[in-house]
Structure 1
Amino acid sequence: MSATTPAGVKPGFRFTGWHMLAGVVTFFAVVIAVDVLFTVLALRTFPGQVSVTPYEDGLLYNQRIAQQRAQAALGWRAAATANAGVVTLTVQDAAGSPIRGLDIAARLERPATEAGRLTPKFIETAPGRYEAATGRIAGAWDLTAEASDTAGRRFVAERRLTWP
């Protein structure tokens, strides 16, 4: 048997080392290109920064836990509703009685961004019922309300509100 081909017949495809090298290089080039694409897309949509002051936030963690325990012992409850142009906050004590005379500092912000943050001013319109004008807003907003009374007791309520 000879390794030569008869005259007029083309030799078939031969897989050589160069073909193998080209296949491996192509495979890894595609994998690297996809990884780079996904990394670029991920960094464009979320840069990784959750807080501007992460170290300080970590130091304040124990204070936040202590404040939440004190708030739970206080037994106050809050409910918030979104109406056209107004947000209403109702605050009750552990017995269900309305709490009067609270000083409420609040902020409304979008769930996904800090753009368009509002600081509504709450006014007591009935015992334990506080209202603030929001203007013409629509969509989902996160309300963070910090209420304090004359005795220095502090209550923080966070609610997601939705306007049509």
Structure 2
Amino acid sequence: MSGFTIKGWHVGVGVTAFFGLIIAVDAAFLTLAYRTHPGQVANKPYEAGLLYNAELERQRRQAELGWRAAAEARPDGVAVWMRNAAGQPLAGLTVSADLQRPATGHGRTRLTLTEAEPGLYVARTTLSGTWDAAVAARDAAGRDFVASRRLTWP
């Protein structure tokens, strides 16, 4: 019986072809990955880093204040309760809320809230659905507070 016999050069060609295919596929994936995302996550990374450091500092100062905020979507608008570290109402603040949809930037709205009673700030609006609210408060001494809440109207 005369059959095919695997010789050393057959194994060498097979191993070389196998690794050549693996290297070619890896090279193709690397090229596609680099072309679709060159690794840059910000147009100006240095400036983005500076803004991030400023945001960390703002959060540190805010934590030292100990202020707390609670927000509620009411049928006729928005209500925000502001409390100090001892749980007492914070009166005399300038409060605003920037509202936007969670999935899109359409319909962004800025509300200026007025003090209805000490620590309670309200604004009238006729929104419906789910909105992300960024509530900003400032006292007469210039101390700032920012809180984010998700609000849902029927």
Secondary structure of the residue aligned to 1:89 is: strand
- Distance, in Å, in 2 between the alignment partners of 1:120 and 1:81 is 14
> 5+ unaligned residues in a row in structure 1: which ranges?
1-42, 44-49
Q: TM-score, normalised by structure 2?
A: 0.69
Pairing 1:149–2:139 present: yes
Could you say which structure has the higher strand fraction? 2
Match of 1:124 among 105, 115, 134: 115
Aligned match of 1:109: 100
SS, match of residue 69 in structure 1: helix
Question: What is the match of residue 98 of structure 1?
Answer: 89
Q: Provide the secondary structure at the position in 2 that maps to 1:119.
A: strand
**Counterpart in the other structure of 1:139:** 129
How many pairs were matched up? 114
The answer for the alignment partner of 1:86 in structure 2 is 77
Q: Which runs of 5+ in 2 are unaligned?
A: 1-35
Q: Does the Cα contact within 8 Å between 1:90 and 1:128 map onto a contact in 2?
A: yes
How far apart, in 2, do the equivalents of 1:78 and 1:161 lie?
13
Structure 1: 4+ residue segments shifted above 6 A = none
CA distance in 2, matches of 1:115, 1:54: 26
Deviations 1:17-73 (A, max 9, x none): xxxxxxxxxxxxxxxxxxxxxxxxxx9xxxxxx98x664433200000011011111
Q: Secondary structure of the equivalent of 1:122? A: strand
Instruction: Identify the residue that residue 162 of structure 1 maps to in structure 2.
Output: 152
- Measured in 2, the distance between the counterparts of 1:97 and 1:126 equals 13
Q: Which has the larger radius of gyration?
A: 1
Instruction: Give the TM-score of the pair, scaled to structure 1.
Output: 0.65
